[in-house]
Amino acid sequence: THQNNFVAVPERTSILDQAMAALLSDLERTGLLDSTLVVLATEFGRTPRINQNAGRDHYPNAWSLALAGSGIQRGAVIGATDEDGIEVTENPFDEKNLFATMFTALGIDPYAEYDLPGFPTFHRVEKEAKPIHEVLV
């Protein structure tokens, strides 16, 4: 929402909320939630301050996401920012931790190595990136 934030966000989140609720309810009802990992995320956060176009710009310093289903503890909230949403103040994690967490939740070795001809050894996730154990069941 680079512009018109106060109109666009309520419109978009009402659609997203309904879709996520329906998806999670259907997965729970059919017994598939325990074997399906649902990830709601973006590639960056949004600035805590409103710009000159009544919008919010890209902000990689602090971002949020939601995980549900396979291997994820229900109701866990991990991390925090300062009161202005500018800096992470508790439990800073990055995308490497996220991918290690997702692989672990799905029962996949996050540190598996692959040798591809003509390339250095490829790892799913670097070994120093630990899963976020606080969200894993």
Q: What is the pLDDT of residues 27-36, one digit of tens each?
A: 999 999 999 9
At residue 85, does pLDDT exceed 90?
A: no
User: Count of alpha carbons within 13 Å of 36, Cβ hemisphere only?
Assistant: 13
Q: What is the percentage of the chain residues whose pLDDT exceeds 70?
A: 100
**Nearest CA among 38, 25, 106 for reference residue 69:** 38
Per-residue pLDDT of 42-60, as tens digits, reads: 878 888 889 999 999 998 8
At residue 123, does pLDDT exceed 90?
A: no
Tell which wins on pLDDT, 117 or 18: 18
What is residue 130's predicted lDDT score, i.e. its pLDDT?
95
Strands (E) in 48-87, as ranges, are: 58-59, 66-69, 80-81
At residue 89, does pLDDT exceed 90?
A: yes
DSSP state of 62: S
**Nearest CA among 109, 99, 95, 101 for reference residue 73:** 101
Handedness of CA 7, 13, 18, 23 (dihedral sign): positive
Pair 110, 104: CB distance under 8 Å: yes
